[in-house]
Amino acid sequence: MTTRVAAIDCGTNSVRLLIADIKSKADDPERVPGACGPAREAVVPLTDVRREMRIVRLGEGVDLTGRLSEAALDRTMTALREYAGMIAEARPAEVRMVATSATRDAANAGEFAGRVREILGIEPEVISGEEEAWLSFTGATRELAGAGLAADCAPPYLVTDIGGGSTEFILGGPDGVDAERSVNIGCVRMTERHLRGDPPARAEILAATADIAAALDEVAGAIDVAKARTLAGLAGSVTTVAAIALGLVAYDSRRIHHARISAGRVHEIAGELLAMTRKERAAIAVMHPGRIDVIGAGALILDAIMARFGFAEVLVSEHDILDGIAWAMVA
């Protein structure tokens, strides 16, 4: 039996839609190739019907004002109206929308929820950092849980989801999550708080680095990262760094998904991005216009994570919290 679902992830920087068909029984597994080993059994296959992203910068200014701005709300509602039409056309059995860091932090989250209800007819779920972490872990690792994984891409996994306002860290394996922590370092938050120059001054980069280091101290106190055998990186900052590392002339999610990027290459790219002007970053072939201003901070966060915890490479995943939301609807 196949169930069609629609999942919406409303983050600090982007709002994304996944309409997918999910097999609710695992008794008809498919053999699928894996970048981390030989072919393995798929686990309850998920098939994309439609996957969309709009950069709306909902969290713009939230770190400073504590409120969602009218302009940010308007941009987000415009995207949701577009998604509402797609959902109506696809006729899913269930629709779920989650909102994460920016909405958790905003004093006017109630206004946001009311406007969403008017457009989608459902209540947006403002989830905790802990639930966000669990959904991200599910989305990133569900397809890694089958047989035949190679030793160099094996559990336990440390999944890190670098968002706009926060970054989630989740340690676990096929049997579930062992530990998680959400910390308030994200590409939008770090850019607005520290990286204001064009390009950022050395003092700005050092201030951001110190802020990130303090957050990673918190992670180290909550999670036994040394147990992890594989670092899996999620979200736009990570996938954009991967696209640059792979030398792509156009963004190609198929090549990016399950690519492995070395720590040295991540460090090089972070330094290059932070040294560029906005105009130079905009000229990068794989750069989404909505990430031009914040990609330096995102790359800096990824670089700091790999250096602090000693990971030689990152396994890049195009599947993340959005897929986790979809899976949860048929669990």
Give the per-residue pLDDT at 34.
47
Distance CA 98, CA 10 (A): 6
- Regarding whether 291 and 156 lie in a shared domain, the answer is yes
Cβ–Cβ under 8 Å, residues 156 and 227: yes
* Within a domain: 221: yes
Domain range for 111: 2-129
- Regarding whether 268 and 295 lie in a shared domain, the answer is yes
Beta partners for residue 47, in sequence order = 21
Q: Note the Cα 240 to chain centre separation in Å.
A: 11
Give the per-residue pLDDT at 148.
40
**CB atoms near residue 264 (< 10 Å):** 11
**CB atoms near residue 293 (< 10 Å):** 19
Domain final position from 129, 164, 182: 129
Cβ–Cβ under 8 Å, residues 55 and 78: no
Distance CA 11, CA 110 (A): 16
Distance CA 131, CA 129 (A): 6
- Regarding whether 288 and 174 lie in a shared domain, the answer is yes
Number of domains in the chain: 2
- Regarding whether 231 and 104 lie in a shared domain, the answer is no
Tell the burial category of 181 from Cβ atoms under 10 Å away from its Cβ (0-12, 13-18, 19+): buried
Query: Residue 263 sits in a domain of what CATH number?
Result: 3.30.420.150
* Within a domain: 19: yes
- Regarding whether 301 and 194 lie in a shared domain, the answer is yes
* Within a domain: 135: no
Distance CA 301, CA 291 (A): 14
Q: Cα(first)–Cα(last) distance of the chain, in Å?
A: 13
Cβ–Cβ under 8 Å, residues 215 and 184: yes
Single-letter amino acid code for the residue at 112:
F
Backbone dihedral region for residue 106 (phi beyond 0: left; psi -120 to 50: alpha; all else: beta): beta
Phi, psi of 181 (to 5 degrees): -155, 135
pLDDT tens digits, residue range 224-265? 999 999 999 998 899 999 999 999 999 998 899 989 999 999
Handedness of CA 72, 324, 331, 44 (dihedral sign): positive
Q: What is the 3-state secondary structure (H, E, C) of 263-286?
A: HHHHHHHHHHHHHCCHHHHHCCCC
- Regarding whether 17 and 54 lie in a shared domain, the answer is yes
Which of 78, 75, 81 has its CA nearest to residue 120?
Answer: 81
Judged by DSSP in three states, 224 sits in coil
- Regarding whether 301 and 158 lie in a shared domain, the answer is yes
Q: Maximum CA pair distance of the chain?
A: 57
- Joined together, the tokens standing for residue 79 give 């995207």
- Regarding whether 174 and 124 lie in a shared domain, the answer is no
Q: Note the Cα 205 to chain centre separation in Å.
A: 23
Query: Residue 17 sits in a domain of what CATH number?
Result: 3.30.420.40
Per-residue pLDDT tens digits of the chain, which is 331 residues long: 899 999 999 988 889 999 999 986 554 444 444 445 433 444 457 889 999 999 898 888 877 888 989 999 999 999 999 999 999 999 999 999 998 767 777 888 889 999 999 999 999 988 887 788 788 888 888 877 553 444 457 889 999 989 888 898 999 988 778 999 989 899 999 999 999 999 999 999 999 999 999 999 999 999 999 999 999 999 889 999 999 999 999 999 889 998 999 999 999 999 999 999 999 999 999 999 989 999 999 999 999 999 999 999 999 998 888 999 999 998 7
- Regarding whether 81 and 50 lie in a shared domain, the answer is yes
Single-letter amino acid code for the residue at 274:
L
* Within a domain: 329: no
Judged by DSSP in three states, 31 sits in strand
Triad 234, 305, 324: Cα angle to 5°: 25
Give the per-residue pLDDT at 164.
85
Single-letter amino acid code for the residue at 278:
R
- Regarding whether 117 and 181 lie in a shared domain, the answer is no
- Regarding whether 289 and 225 lie in a shared domain, the answer is yes
